[in-house]
């Protein structure tokens, strides 16, 4: 996830972000077990667990903008991504007030036995907030960067956390077991997926019927949100893209200071 200020770098919400980190993040890349009845996730990204259809016809190429990769999906240019060298910023103390992760997790309304995927988990910022809420379930912490996953493993050991499973996904597949998930969370990550159609198609396969996707993205409709334009998403755009992979919109909550909280569901039938 990449959520750097668009122009106002003196904004109080961003005072902890140094100029050096801004420069690093602008040029580097990123994404993006106590449930014995559940299958283990694959251990490496070398072998995909699901065949992904060729969806090259759904993308267009254009001249890359300053913060984009020049690849367009359903009218939206995909943004550049942030690498593992920005990991410390993901754990900044000010994030509690800026993004209200407590409200995000509470609004997921998880049950103790739920199986959840944190897609684009990064340092595990949300993974380790979700895990205590599913003591009889599991959290798959999915990222494409081994460096991020190693941080998660270290924290698992430090905290004695046994219901978290790190998963090294690919740019096209989170590599999760089919028909397993009750919920999947993506926080400021989806807009950076280089293959959003493939990723979401694979993720939908991993959801149980009735399973939900919780999508958190900065509000593009609000010009006061100090985030680069390509790192925001409008509700309308998000709904179009989720509908394209068969997910049904449930509701959109705007209880967060600057982000949409969109809820989608895999049809039961």
Sequence ranges of the domains in the chain: 12-40+72-265
Q: What is the mean pLDDT of residues 233-262?
A: 97
Among 5, 59, 30, 4, which residue's Cα sits nearest to residue 189? 30
The torsion angles phi and psi of 143, rounded to 5 degrees, stand at -155, 160
The torsion angles phi and psi of 58, rounded to 5 degrees, stand at -90, -5
Task: Using the predicted structure, report yes or no on whether residue 8 has a pLDDT greater than 90.
Answer: no
Q: What is the mean pLDDT of residues 74-78?
A: 97
Classified as helix, coil or strand, 61 is: strand
Q: Note the helical H segments in 160-234.
A: 196-206
The pair of three-digit structure tokens given for residue 243, joined into one six-digit string: 């509908």
Q: What is the mean pLDDT of residues 42-50?
A: 37
Q: How many residues does the chain have?
A: 269
In tens, the pLDDT along 222-247 reads 999 999 999 999 999 999 999 999 99
**23: pLDDT confidence band, cut at 50, 70 and 90?**
very low
Task: Using the predicted structure, report yes or no on whether residue 254 has a pLDDT greater than 60.
Answer: yes
Q: Which CATH class is domain 12-40+72-265?
A: alpha beta
pTM, rounded to two decimals: 0.80
**92: pLDDT confidence band, cut at 50, 70 and 90?**
low
Measured CA to CA in angstroms, residue 65 lies from 22, 149, 194, 212 at distances of 18, 30, 15, 33
Q: What is the mean pLDDT of residues 168-179?
A: 97
The pair of three-digit structure tokens given for residue 118, joined into one six-digit string: 């944190």
42 vs 153: which has the higher pLDDT? 153
**21: pLDDT confidence band, cut at 50, 70 and 90?**
very low
Q: Note the helical H segments in 15-174.
A: 19-27, 87-90, 95-99, 101-108, 127-130, 146-159
Strands 59-61 and 115-119: unpaired
Report the chain's mean pLDDT, rounded to a whole number: 82
Handedness of CA 200, 247, 114, 188 (dihedral sign): positive
């Amino acid at each position: 996830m990449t959520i750097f200020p668009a122009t106002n770098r003196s904004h109080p919400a961003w005072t902890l972000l140094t100029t050096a980190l801004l420069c690093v993040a602008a040029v580097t890349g990123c994404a993006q077990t106590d449930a014995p009845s559940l299958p283990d996730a694959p251990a490496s990204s070398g072998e995909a667990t699901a065949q992904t259809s060729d969806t090259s016809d759904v993308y267009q190429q254009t001249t890359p903008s300053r913060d984009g990769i020049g690849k367009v999906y359903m009218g939206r240019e995909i943004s550049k991504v942030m690498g593992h060298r920005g990991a410390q910023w993901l754990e900044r103390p000010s994030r509690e007030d800026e993004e209200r992760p407590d409200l995000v997790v509470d609004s997921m309304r998880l049950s103790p036995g739920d199986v959840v995927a944190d897609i684009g988990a990064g340092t595990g910022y949300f993974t380790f907030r979700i895990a205590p809420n599913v003591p009889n379930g599991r959290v798959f912490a999915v990222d494409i960067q081994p460096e991020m996953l190693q941080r998660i493993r270290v924290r698992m050991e430090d905290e004695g956390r046994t219901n978290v499973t790190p998963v090294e996904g690919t740019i096209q597949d989170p590599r999760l077991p089919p028909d397993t998930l009750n919920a999947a969370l993506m926080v400021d990550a989806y807009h950076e997926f280089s293959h959003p159609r493939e990723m979401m198609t694979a993720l939908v396969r991993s959801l149980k019927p009735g399973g939900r996707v919780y999508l958190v993205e900065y509000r593009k409709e609000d010009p006061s949100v100090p985030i680069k334009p390509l790192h925001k998403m409008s509700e309308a755009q998000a709904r179009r893209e989720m509908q394209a992979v068969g997910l049904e919109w449930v509701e959109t909550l705007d209880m967060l200071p600057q982000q949409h909280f969109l809820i989608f569901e895999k049809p039961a039938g």
